[in-house]
Copies of this chain bind each other. A is one copy, B any other.
């Protein structure tokens, strides 16, 4: 039996070799691969569903919670959605090789930037087997090889999906090692992957906070991480009241367990009386518990009492902290201090205040007069996302195929040499 570290080293080396091939593969060849993968998923739907049944049976025998079972389940509809997703990635514009800003410099050399793949991307994820197809297709389209480490609970499902992918790659003459699923469930495989800095260029963890913290701590490879989403709506006193209420309610209630759902609502004191009672009624219809500051509770005595720890809390549940602030300055200061630099919205008709909010709130997505729940790769026109980054370097917010690329300098001349 092979040692896990040696196995992962071989996976890393094979990925690096394959990455050279996919990096210079023409768009037609990558698109042919994506079409073949989509076809293969549909053709092998029965095998995938049977493999998933093995995972589901095991999960049930371990009394895994119902929402997790839901996320694990794959049926014929899921397989078709996966295939559609792969085809949609194929239809995106190819980002690789685009040269921009090519301009002459005083020396006569011409300098520009070429968009190129990162190389090898390691993706570590939990539960949902569709991530196997989604992530593989985004990596492939952006010219990267990938190493996929799915959750143990989805092992059989992921294996069946990965088999479709590697088979399809072989049929279009791309190296099957461009998409490798880690074939051991041993947790040590994750540790070994995180140390393969010579062969892996970036790690993208997708899952709970525990996973992301472990990956950030152990990895010697740069991590595109997605930590908390403590998002805010700020209702300015020059807001349209009806719009403010709709945006605040939608930003919380469209979905609770997502990172772009708000956790704290900030209301300017001069509009608090006009919006809070109606907001409380709307939230009550959704059974959202409100936790308010002192001034909030003067208007809404039925609200629970918020403590400072509430301003930092990512509830991911029907609970909302509410704070009345003096105005824009206090709102920006609150968001920059307690928020998680994820997604924040102002509702206001005052252009100068909107401009300041957009500029001064230091978050990956800053919005005016829209629900925070739009913070999403599809809604942003990125096609699909491999995750939402809370990093500041490289890429912030939803990460699409462009986030899986980088730029190198291209320099052209006619024999220029440098005089010192």
Contact = CB atoms under 8 A, between A and B. Distances in A.
A408 B366 contact: yes
A28 B347 CA distance: 30
A374 B411 contact: yes
Contacts of A420: 254-255
Contacts of A394: 393-394, 406
A247 B417 contact: yes
Contact of A202 (B111, B247, B374, B393): B393
Contact of A368 (B222, B250, B373, B412): B412
A396 B408 contact: yes
Contacts of A201: 392-393
A392 B406 contact: yes
A409 B107 CA distance: 36
A369 B119 contact: no
Given A406-B393, A410-B366, A413-B368, A360 B418 contact: no
Contacts of A397: 408-409
A105 B380 contact: yes
Q: Interface size for chain A: under 10, 10 to 19, 20 to 34, or 35 or more residues?
A: 35 or more
A246 to B, nearest CB: 5
Given A243-B415, A371-B416, A415-B369, A408 B364 contact: yes
A391 B222 CA distance: 9
A359 interface: yes
B416 A370 contact: yes
A173 interface: no
Contact of A240 (B246, B370, B391, B415): B415
Interface in A218-271: 222, 240, 242-243, 246-247, 249-250, 254-255
Number of copies: 2
A144 B391 CA distance: 16
A93 to B, nearest CB: 13
B105 A363 contact: no
A356 B25 CA distance: 11
Interface in A19-44: 20, 23-24
B409 A380 contact: yes
A103 interface: yes
A75 interface: no
Interface string A335-379: 010000000010100000000101110111111111101110001
Nearest to A391: B222
Contacts of A97: 359
A12 interface: no
Interface in A74-127: 97, 103, 105, 107, 109, 111, 114, 116, 118-119
A415 B250 CA distance: 10
A414 interface: yes
B407 A396 contact: yes
A242 B417 CA distance: 12
A419 B373 CA distance: 9
A352 to B, nearest CB: 13
A398 interface: yes
Contacts of A371: 416-418
A393 B118 CA distance: 7
A250 to B, nearest CB: 4
A365 B411 contact: yes
A196 to B, nearest CB: 14
Nearest to A107: B379
Nearest to A245: B415
Contacts of A242: 415
Nearest to A368: B412
Given A24-B360, A109-B374, 7 more contacts: A247-B417, A369-B415, A370-B413, A373-B417, A380-B411, A394-B394, A396-B409
5 contacts: A116-B359, A250-B417, A369-B416, A370-B416, A393-B406
Q: Top 9 A-B pairs ranked by shortest CB distance?
A: A370-B413, A250-B417, A243-B415, A367-B411, A394-B394, A393-B394, A373-B418, A365-B409, A370-B416
